[in-house]
């Protein structure tokens, strides 16, 4: 690679400018929003890959990809352009970019009327480009006081500075959640907090293998820097400035198309284990799960059917039913349907070489093609070799959808779990059809799982028109979240994993992936002991995806009733999950409607509290709940530092108030789940639900957490039928005003439907003594109100 130095202005563009670099390359600057600019380097003035599957500002990208020349969905505001002898300056009211000689980009934000530098290229060379290939690199100056976040589900500390990361999708079964890298997803996006110039994010819209060095590398010839290096593709990045990280996380979700809004039942407990479908009597094992749910009175809404149902011998063959293990699939799925438990089937995008339908798929040209011969590529896959389906071929998409429909949907399985889709094809030049324009796999490896998932989604929508689909995918890139929920993959059972998975989930949330979770109890390795299983469940219930899953070394299954001596604790934790469903569903709706993270680092809500920037096991569930799980073995106490909320915090269970910034040393036993509500919150809760369907709740509660003295509390309750794509909905905007003597509750009804439960019980903390006035009448804590009549 060579450093790019010389440039001149080539032409003005309606959205910005184009420079000619080193007499042969084009560098385009586009003003997309007042706080968002795009920088695109076209080697020899031509895109290496002229399509994007990640950027979808207007909601989605075409199946065949979005033209990189498109600015659809952006406002492209007016901007100021000044050309001087040695530089050009492009500015909006918010952001200013100065390009100077030798090629150097400096970014400033207007803060209190003053321009302040928030980012700039390394002065000794900011861009490098391959001479005979398409390798490229981008170097930015690095300040020691900056804090860097993002990159998705990366292991280790949530704050990323000082380390090096690789983007290369891998099936990293049994990974170490503190150290393993790379992992499953390709998310080339970082957010940076500066000391004096606000926050900024950078998203590299390139799907080739890449590396981020955020201060691990030192070079005597350069001042401190950070780097992005890619082995192929285009240097095409989006630079966004914001006052805080919360806005940048929201912006990234919007830029990449937002978040899918799945059915409400997906928030319920989801069972899963490899051991059931691996067993010779898989159908009996699976139906026995339903019996155990009833026996132990455990609420459950879904079960994720692992790939053993497709086995021949000890290997897996997608869309093949093992009728010895599952002799009557329709009868089995009927029993799950009668029990109200949805089935989600595991499917894989690689056909092993001895798959019963391999020759059929090969003759139809459905596979990615070898780089040197007109035959399917061959890669290691599940203890054998196989060929990966090419979802850039319309014929493959149709074949896949026909099989999803015939082998799953028509057999009573309504949802898909798109798994093992990392596309570990290391013949980098293996050929993808590219919808008629051939593309090497090295350029679009993370696109294949997105297209696989999207193909499954379209089949599900056609089979159940008008219903919101639910899909899971393990691998992918930005844009996957438009279609599917995801999780942090095949973790290893240990106390360390429990702790570090929390940070991995928060990393995803900061990177625009909001509907996420972990394999509760640990997937690979030893089975969890009773204490670890309880603590993992108590943590899992506060994540959007709550699934107990396992492939234990001793062939046991992680189940709520696995250890009779702790089943009561696990049942109580799961019941708390169901009690929180109205709040969780409102958060899920807001994630879809307004691009708001569901789980959040404490600093996202309280950025002015310096202590919130320190490493912690605590996190926020939405804006109002502080989750302070016990994640240490043998703990008898839990130290909790409450973030600096000026109105303080209420202990969710005890009803005691504590000032923001307080440090509490709580005594804990195995059943303790430390949970605090922000003073100033109203939480909608449910009662009596054994399923996540809204009609399953027998009663509604409004938990009021007032501000001490004078102040207001707010809350929201979103409701619909839980499954329909365009369902009538009710939205209650709740407010609680207080002074020294009285609390007054009001609400505003929005939407085109009534609340699902017309009456609600109001609950005040145990230590709150002020009378509550609703509609001009005093209502005691525990009394009921009529939600259909707004006061």
Residues 711-770 have pLDDT tens digits of 999 999 999 999 999 999 999 999 999 999 999 999 999 999 999 999 999 999 999 999
Please state, in angstroms and rounded to a whole number, the distance separating the CA atoms of residues 148 and 603.
13
Q: Which helix (H) or strand (E) holds 394?
A: helix 394-407
Place of tokens 């019963």: 356
Side-chain-side CA neighbours of 300 within 13 Å: the count stands at: 29
Please state, in angstroms and rounded to a whole number, the distance separating the CA atoms of residues 243 and 739.
32
CB atoms within 10 A of CB 767: 12
Average the pLDDT over 122-151 and give the result: 97
Per-residue confidence band for 484, with pLDDT thresholds at 50, 70 and 90: very high
Average the pLDDT over 414-443 and give the result: 97
Per-residue confidence band for 59, with pLDDT thresholds at 50, 70 and 90: confident
Residues 356-395 have pLDDT tens digits of 999 999 999 999 999 999 999 999 999 899 999 999 999 9
**Contact present, 346 and 304 (Cβ < 8 Å):** yes
The reported pLDDT for the residue numbered 266 is: 98
Phi and psi torsions of 285, nearest 5°: -65, -45
Alpha helices in 493-627 (DSSP H): 495-510, 530-540, 567-579, 581-594, 602-605
56 in helix, strand or coil?
coil
Please state, in angstroms and rounded to a whole number, the distance separating the CA atoms of residues 781 and 174.
49
Beta-carbon contacts of 172 under 8 Å, excluding residues fewer than 6 positions away, are 180, 182, 183, 184, 489, 490
Phi and psi torsions of 4, nearest 5°: -90, 125
Percent of the chain with pLDDT over 90: 98
pLDDT surpassing 90 at residue 147:
yes
117 in helix, strand or coil?
strand
Q: Which helix (H) or strand (E) holds 409?
A: none
Residues 499-543 have pLDDT tens digits of 999 999 999 999 999 999 999 999 999 999 999 999 999 999 999
> Considering only CA atoms, which of 240, 231, 314, 232 is closest in space to residue 280?
314
Please state, in angstroms and rounded to a whole number, the distance separating the CA atoms of residues 698 and 690.
10
**Contact present, 456 and 464 (Cβ < 8 Å):** no
**Contact present, 286 and 344 (Cβ < 8 Å):** no
Average the pLDDT over 64-91 and give the result: 96
7 in helix, strand or coil?
strand
**pLDDT averaged over every residue in the chain:** 97
pLDDT surpassing 90 at residue 228:
yes
What is the widest separation between alpha-carbon atoms in the chain? Answer: 82
Q: In the beta sheet, which residues pair with residue 425?
A: none
**Contact present, 404 and 456 (Cβ < 8 Å):** yes
Q: What does the angle CA 443 – CA 449 – CA 452 come to, to the nearest 5 degrees?
A: 120
Tokens at 694, concatenated: 């809204």
Average the pLDDT over 392-420 and give the result: 98
> Considering only CA atoms, which of 291, 455, 266 is closest in space to residue 342?
266
Domains and CATH numbers, the chain: 2-255 (2.60.40.1760), 264-352+413-426+446-594 (3.20.20.80), 601-678 (2.60.40.1180), 681-786 (2.60.40.1180)
Average the pLDDT over 482-487 and give the result: 98
Average the pLDDT over 197-204 and give the result: 98
**Contact present, 366 and 395 (Cβ < 8 Å):** yes
pLDDT surpassing 90 at residue 790:
no
The reported pLDDT for the residue numbered 791 is: 84
Tokens at 618, concatenated: 């605590």
pTM tops 0.95, yes or no: yes
CB-based burial, 384-393: b 16+ in 10 Å, e otherwise: eebbbbbbbb
**Contact present, 538 and 568 (Cβ < 8 Å):** no
> Considering only CA atoms, which of 457, 458, 492 is closest in space to residue 473?
457
CA 421 and chain centroid, separation: 17
Secondary structure E strands in 151-282:
164-167, 189-193, 199-204, 210-213, 225-230, 235-242, 270-272
Count the residues in the chain. Answer: 791
Beta-carbon contacts of 374 under 8 Å, excluding residues fewer than 6 positions away, are none
Residues 647-696 have pLDDT tens digits of 999 999 999 999 999 999 999 999 999 999 999 999 999 999 999 999 89
Instruction: Write the DSSP string, 650-681.
Output: EETTT--EE-TT-EEEEE--TT---EEEETTE
> Considering only CA atoms, which of 440, 503, 517 is closest in space to residue 473?
517
**Contact present, 525 and 498 (Cβ < 8 Å):** no
322 in helix, strand or coil?
coil
Instruction: State the DSSP code for 264.
Output: G
Please state, in angstroms and rounded to a whole number, the distance separating the CA atoms of residues 86 and 140.
21
pLDDT surpassing 90 at residue 58:
no
The reported pLDDT for the residue numbered 85 is: 87
């Amino acid at each position: 690679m060579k450093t790019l130095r010389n440039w001149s202005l080539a032409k003005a563009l309606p959205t910005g400018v184009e420079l000619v670099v080193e007499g042969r390359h084009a560098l385009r600057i586009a003003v997309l929003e007042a706080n968002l600019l795009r920088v695109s380097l076209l080697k020899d003035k031509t895109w290496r890959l002229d399509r994007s599957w990640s950027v979808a500002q207007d909601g989605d990208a075409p199946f065949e990809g979005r033209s990189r020349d498109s600015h659809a969905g952006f406002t492209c505001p007016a901007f100021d352009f000044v050309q001087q002898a040695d530089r050009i300056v492009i500015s909006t009211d918010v952001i200013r970019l100065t390009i100077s000689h030798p090629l150097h980009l400096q970014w400033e934000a207007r803060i209190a009327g003053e321009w302040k530098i928030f980012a700039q290229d390394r002065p000794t060379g900011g861009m490098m480009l391959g001479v005979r290939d398409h390798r490229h690199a981008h170097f930015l100056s690095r300040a020691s006081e900056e804090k860097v976040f993002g990159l998705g589900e990366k292991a280790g500390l949530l704050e990323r500075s000082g380390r090096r990361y690789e983007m290369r999708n891998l099936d990293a079964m049994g990974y170490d959640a503190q150290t393993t890298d790379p992992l499953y997803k390709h998310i080339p996006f970082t957010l940076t907090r500066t000391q004096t110039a606000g926050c900024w994010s950078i998203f590299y819209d390139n799907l080739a293998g890449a590396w981020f060095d955020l201060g691990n590398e030192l070079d005597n010839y350069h001042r401190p820097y950070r780097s992005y290096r890619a082995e192929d593709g285009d240097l095409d990045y989006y630079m966004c400035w914001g006052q805080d990280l919360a806005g940048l996380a929201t912006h990234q979700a919007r830029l990449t198309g937002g978040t899918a809004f799945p059915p409400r039942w997906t928030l319920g407990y989801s069972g899963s284990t490899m051991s059931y479908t691996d067993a010779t009597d898989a159908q009996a094992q699976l139906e026995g799960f339903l019996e155990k749910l009833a026996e132990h009175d455990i609420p459950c809404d879904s079960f994720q059917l692992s790939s053993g149902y497709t086995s021949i011998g000890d290997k897996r063959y997608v869309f093949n039913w093992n009728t010895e293990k599952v002799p009557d699939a329709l009868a089995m799925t009927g029993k799950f349907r009668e029990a109200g438990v949805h089935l989600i089937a595991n499917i894989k995008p690689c056909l092993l070489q001895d798959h019963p339908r391999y020759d059929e798929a090969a003759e139809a040209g459905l596979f990615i093609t070898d780089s040197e011969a007109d035959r399917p590529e061959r890669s290691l896959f599940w203890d054998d070799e196989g060929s990966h389906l090419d979802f850039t071929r319309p014929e493959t998409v149709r074949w896949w959808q026909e099989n999803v429909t015939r082998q799953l949907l028509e057999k009573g399985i309504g949802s898909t779990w798109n798994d093992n889709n990392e596309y570990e094809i290391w013949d980098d030049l293996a050929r993808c059809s590219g919808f008629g324009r051939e593309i090497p796999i090295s350029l679009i490896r993370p696109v294949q799982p997105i297209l696989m998932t999207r193909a499954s989604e379209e089949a599900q929508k056609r089979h159940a028109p008008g219903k919101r689909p639910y899909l899971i995918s393990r691998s992918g890139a930005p844009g996957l979240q438009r279609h599917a929920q995801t999780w942090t993959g095949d973790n290893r059972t240990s106390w360390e994993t429990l702790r570090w998975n929390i940070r991995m989930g928060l990393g995803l949330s900061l990177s625009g992936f909001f509907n996420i979770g972990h394999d509760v109890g640990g997937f690979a390795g030893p089975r969890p002991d009773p204490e670890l299983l309880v603590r993992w469940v108590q943590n899992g219930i506060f994540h959007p995806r709550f699934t107990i899953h396992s492939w234990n070394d001793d062939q046991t299954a992680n189940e709520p009733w696995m250890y009779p001596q702790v089943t009561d604790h696990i049942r109580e934790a799961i019941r708390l999950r169901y009690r929180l469903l109205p709040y969780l569903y409102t958060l899920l709706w807001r994630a879809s409607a307004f691009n708001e993270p569901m789980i959040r680092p404490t600093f996202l809500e309280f950025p002015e509290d310096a202590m919130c920037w320190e490493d912690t096991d605590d996190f926020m569930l939405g804006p109002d709940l502080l989750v302070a799980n016990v994640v240490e073995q043998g703990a008898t106490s839990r130290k909790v530092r409450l973030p600096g909320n000026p109105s303080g915090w209420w202990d969710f269970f005890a009803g005691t108030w504590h000032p923001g910034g307080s440090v509490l040393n709580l005594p804990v036993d195995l059943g303790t789940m430390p949970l605090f509500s922000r003073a100033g919150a109203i939480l909608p809760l449910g009662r009596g639900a054994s399923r996540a369907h809204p009609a399953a709740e027998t009663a509604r509660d409004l938990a009021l957490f007032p501000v001490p003295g004078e102040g207001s509390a707010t809350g929201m309750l979103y409701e619909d039928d839980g499954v329909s794509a365009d369902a009538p909905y009710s939205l209650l905007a709740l407010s609680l005003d207080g002074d020294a003597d009285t609390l007054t509750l009001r609400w505003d009804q929005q939407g085109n439907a009534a609340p699902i439960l017309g009456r609600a019980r109001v609950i005040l903390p145990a230590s709150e003594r002020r009378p509550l006035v609703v509609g001009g009448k005093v209502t005691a804590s525990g009394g009921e109100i009529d939600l259909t009549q707004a006061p």
